[in-house]
Each structure stands twice: as structure tokens, then as C-alpha cells.
């Protein structure tokens, strides 16, 4: 998580300085651990949220959550499409059960903290 936030901050600085920095990720970015570089923010996310509705620029927190879910969920794929729909909700609930936290399907501070930790450590959820 720290590495992700530093890399996003450095990319932001480079863009501000006039350098061109590509932040594109492969279609299945979550499968390649360490490749989730969509956002440094951790806002509350739930069904109906989109990257466009939760940010005012290039920052993409829904895609970040989806990418991290794909990295930690062994048997479930969540489309990294920037839209928090039923698939993302289901993946979130499965992860929350693995982490032993409230399984409400909402990504708030506790879920972000656990998701970031699991992602950083390369842990997998086998539900």
C-alpha cells in the first residue's frame, strides 16, 4: 500500500513537472500483484459508486479496490471497470469473510485497511 501511494504520488509529481508518465494497467491488472496503481485514496465505496462519482480527476478508487480484490481473491474475478456493481459487492463480501470483518459489502476504513494489508503481503482468500 505504501509503495502504491508513493508510486501514485511520484507519478503525480512527474505529470505536474511536465513529464509524460503512463499509468496504464493491463486488463487483468489484479492478477499481477503490485500492479494496482489506480488511486491513493480510500473513500467509502458501495454499490452504485463509480470512479467518476468518487473523484474529480484521474484518481480511480473503485478500480483500485477491484484490482486489489482480484489480487487477493483466489477463486473470484471482479471486473476492473470502475463501477461498483453486484460483482464487486460479491467479491467484497467474500473478502470481508476471509478477513474476519463485518461482511456488509461496503468498502470503508476497516475493509480498505485489511484489503491493502492482504494485497501488500500477497495473501490470498480461498473462498
- pLDDT, tens digit (0-9, with 9 covering 90-100), for 70-103: 999 999 999 999 999 999 999 999 999 999 999 9
The pLDDT, as a whole number, for residue 40 is 82
DSSP letter at 75 equals: S
Percentage above 90 pLDDT, the chain: 60
The pLDDT, as a whole number, for residue 18 is 38
Q: Is 48 exposed, middle or buried (0-12, 13-18, 19+ CB in 10 A)?
A: exposed
Maximal CA-CA distance, the chain: 45
Domains of the chain: 2-121 (1.10.101.10)
C-alpha span between 109 and 97 (Å, rounded): 16
C-alpha span between 125 and 16 (Å, rounded): 38
C-alpha span between 111 and 61 (Å, rounded): 13
Grid coordinates representing 33?
500483484
C-alpha span between 120 and 33 (Å, rounded): 8
pLDDT above 80 for 66 = yes
Amino acid at each position: 500500500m505504501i509503495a502504491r501511494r508513493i508510486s501514485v504520488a511520484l507519478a503525480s509529481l512527474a505529470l505536474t513537472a511536465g513529464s509524460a508518465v503512463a499509468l496504464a494497467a493491463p486488463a487483468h491488472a489484479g492478477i499481477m500483484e503490485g500492479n494496482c496503481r489506480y488511486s491513493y485514496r480510500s473513500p467509502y465505496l458501495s454499490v452504485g459508486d463509480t470512479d467518476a462519482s468518487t473523484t474529480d480527476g484521474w484518481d480511480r478508487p473503485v478500480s483500485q479496490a477491484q484490482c486489489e480484490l482480484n489480487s487477493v481473491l483466489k477463486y473470484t474475478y471482479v471486473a476492473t471497470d470502475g463501477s461498483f456493481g453486484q460483482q464487486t459487492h460479491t467479491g467484497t463480501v467474500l473478502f470481508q469473510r476471509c478477513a474476519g470483518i463485518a461482511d456488509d459489502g461496503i468498502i470503508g476504513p476497516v475493509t480498505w485497511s485489511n484489503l491493502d494489508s492482504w494485497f501488500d503481503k500477497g495473501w490470498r482468500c480461498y473462498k
